[in-house]
């Protein structure tokens, strides 16, 4: 395509497919939903994003995870830009997408790659700056992993042997040990995806793991505030009893 064609193609997609940005331009938003424009400016951007319980970088990680888990590629590009501006490294974005291939499905990750490709290209980010497929893995806590694997094998080894096999081989002995995304951040991505996609039954294990990985309770709580806006109130209300249970259990265990 020549430049004129490229511009036309971009305009076409931007206008008609919604690839233009995280938000419609401010004019369109005010033209269709003036109250939402107001909430967007004053409540979400002006207040929620400024709350000190999570840094802008952490809010970007939570938001990207929610957008990928809910498969919303139209909204991704500006949030990817913002994430890079907020200090999320390109290699961390690559790891977030790879992680969510497993935790929200291959198609969501592939669609996210398509959304990220022009953002990376425009910033001259190439694969040399990203973690390789083969990297030296973080040390594994063999005892904890053996306990986890044994529990899952006992529960589901005969029900779904393939799932159990890849849970061990691909997830817990590879993906989680890749050093390009800190374990705490990997846990934030996982928990955010679980909350956003309404997978309440899977939150308990991963929130507990997140806090083992260094996530503070106040940070976990504030993830719910961010997710209420980016995934909606209902899945957050369904997640709150699980968060409460995990917080209570950990407090009780600490006291004993």
Piece in contact with a second copy (CB under 8 A), picked from 81-89, 124-132, 142-150, 207-215: 124-132
Shortest distance (Å) from residue 104 CB to a second copy: 4
Contact between 216 and a second copy by CB under 8 A: the answer reads no
List the one residue from 46, 85, 122, 132 that touches a second copy (CB under 8 A).
132
Shortest distance (Å) from residue 42 CB to a second copy: 8
Contact between 8 and a second copy by CB under 8 A: the answer reads yes
List the one residue from 113, 149, 177, 182 that touches a second copy (CB under 8 A).
113
Whether 64 contacts 245, CB under 8 Å: no
List the one residue from 62, 64, 67, 84 that touches a second copy (CB under 8 A).
67
Contact between 168 and a second copy by CB under 8 A: the answer reads no
Shortest distance (Å) from residue 185 CB to a second copy: 16
DSSP for the chain, written as a single string: --HHHHHHHHHHHHHHHS-S-SS--HHHHHHH-HHHHHIIIIIIITTGGG-TTS-HHHHHHHHHHHHHHTT-GGGHHHHHHHHHHTT--HHHHHHHHHHHHHHH-HHHHHHHHHHHHHHHHHTT--GGGS--SS-PPPPP-HHHHHHHHHHHHHHHTTT-HHHHHHIIIIIITTGGG-TTS-HHHHHHHHHHHHHHTT-GGGHHHHHHHHHHTT--HHHHHHHHHHHHHHH-HHHHHHHHHHHHHHHHHHHHHHH-
Contact between 208 and a second copy by CB under 8 A: the answer reads no
Rounded CA separation 184/210 (Å): 6
**Torsion on CA atoms 232, 103, 111, 220, rounded to nearest 10:** 40
Contact between 236 and a second copy by CB under 8 A: the answer reads yes
List the one residue from 201, 214, 216, 249 that touches a second copy (CB under 8 A).
201
Contact between 72 and a second copy by CB under 8 A: the answer reads yes
List the one residue from 20, 61, 84, 210 that touches a second copy (CB under 8 A).
20
List the one residue from 49, 82, 86, 105 that touches a second copy (CB under 8 A).
105
Piece in contact with a second copy (CB under 8 A), picked from 81-89, 137-145, 207-215, 233-241: 233-241
Piece in contact with a second copy (CB under 8 A), picked from 6-14, 81-89, 136-144, 208-216: 6-14
Shortest distance (Å) from residue 146 CB to a second copy: 19
Contact between 111 and a second copy by CB under 8 A: the answer reads yes
């Amino acid at each position: 395509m020549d430049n004129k064609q490229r511009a036309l193609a971009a305009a076409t997609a931007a206008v008609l497919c919604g690839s233009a940005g995280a938000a419609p331009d401010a004019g369109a938003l005010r033209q269709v939903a003036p109250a939402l424009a107001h909430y967007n400016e004053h409540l979400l951007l002006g207040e929620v994003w400024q709350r000190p319980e999570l840094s802008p970088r952490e809010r970007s990680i939570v938001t990207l995870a929610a957008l990928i888990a809910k498969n919303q590629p139209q909204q991704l590009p500006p949030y990817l830009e913002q994430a890079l501006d907020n200090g999320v490294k390109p290699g961390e974005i690559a790891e977030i997408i790879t992680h969510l291939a497993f935790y929200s499905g291959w198609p969501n990750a592939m669609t996210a790659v398509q959304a990220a490709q022009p953002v990376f290209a425009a910033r001259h980010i190439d694969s040399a700056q990203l973690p390789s497929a083969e990297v030296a893995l973080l040390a594994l806590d063999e005892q904890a992993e053996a306990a986890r694997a044994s529990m899952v094998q006992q529960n589901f080894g005969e029900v779904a042997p393939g799932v159990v096999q890849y849970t061990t081989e691909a997830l817990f002995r590879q993906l989680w040990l890749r050093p390009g995304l800190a374990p705490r951040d990997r846990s934030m991505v996982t928990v955010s995806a679980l909350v956003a996609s309404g997978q309440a039954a899977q939150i308990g294990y991963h929130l507990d793991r997140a806090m083992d990985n260094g996530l503070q309770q106040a940070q976990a709580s504030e993830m719910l505030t961010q997710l209420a806006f980016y995934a909606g109130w209902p899945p957050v209300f369904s997640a709150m009893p699980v968060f409460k249970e995990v917080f209570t259990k950990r407090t009780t265990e600490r006291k004993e």
